[in-house]
Amino acid sequence: MPKKPAWSAVRQALRLPIPIFQGELNLNIASTEIISAALAPILLISGAGLLALSIQNRYGRVIDRIREFNLEMRGGCKNERRRKSIGIQTELLVRRGVFLRNSLFSLFSSVIFAALSSFFILLEAMSGSSMEILATASFALALLFMFVGMLFGIMDVALSYTAIEKEIEIERQ
């Protein structure tokens, strides 16, 4: 009896009883199993994309605000309290920009690794060779990068509130 090709951890997790390839390709069974196995990475891509859209919007607002402050300072702001407020807020906005940039980088990396995971699942199904380790490692990296991206997003939210507190504190002096 010929040795059956190894199938991915996704198949085992989903408890799929029928291997995709046993000599001849049954397109109905193979197609549904491939789609089922690739569903988790596809959902991860969708979630990361939505988060990236939200973070990109925040990042754009931070960049625009920094530009407005720089324009105001170049315009010759005479009020010393306002200049101090702009300086403090600009520092905080630059830090927020770093957090948001890192969040976007992490989320885009998550999308890349999730796509690679789907690719390895498809490649395993098409070639019959074991891509289980590559598919699993890619998916784990996708999850890790998504988690890191969300952490940077949380750090931005915390810092944005600090900026408001500093502005109110300066205005009350």
- DSSP for 82-100? HHHHHHHHHHHHHHHHHHH
CA-CA distance, 139 to 121, in Å (whole number)? 11
CA-CA distance, 92 to 11, in Å (whole number)? 47
The DSSP code for 75 is T
The answer to whether 20 touches 34, Cβ cutoff 8 Å, is yes
- Domain residue spans in the chain? 40-172
Q: Give the mean pLDDT of 102-126.
A: 92
Mind listing the pLDDT tens digit for each residue in 5-62?
A: 444 554 555 554 445 444 444 445 556 676 777 778 888 899 999 999 999 999 999 9
DSSP bridge pairs for 25 = 21
Enter the tokens of residue 152.
Answer: 């940077």
Q: Give the mean pLDDT of 132-145.
A: 93
Q: pLDDT band at 148, cuts 50/70/90?
A: very high
CA-CA distance, 98 to 110, in Å (whole number)? 18
- pTM for this model (two decimals): 0.73
The answer to whether 156 touches 92, Cβ cutoff 8 Å, is no
Enter the tokens of residue 118.
Answer: 């789907």
SS3 22: strand
Enter the tokens of residue 102.
Answer: 């890192």
Enter the tokens of residue 55.
Answer: 């973070």
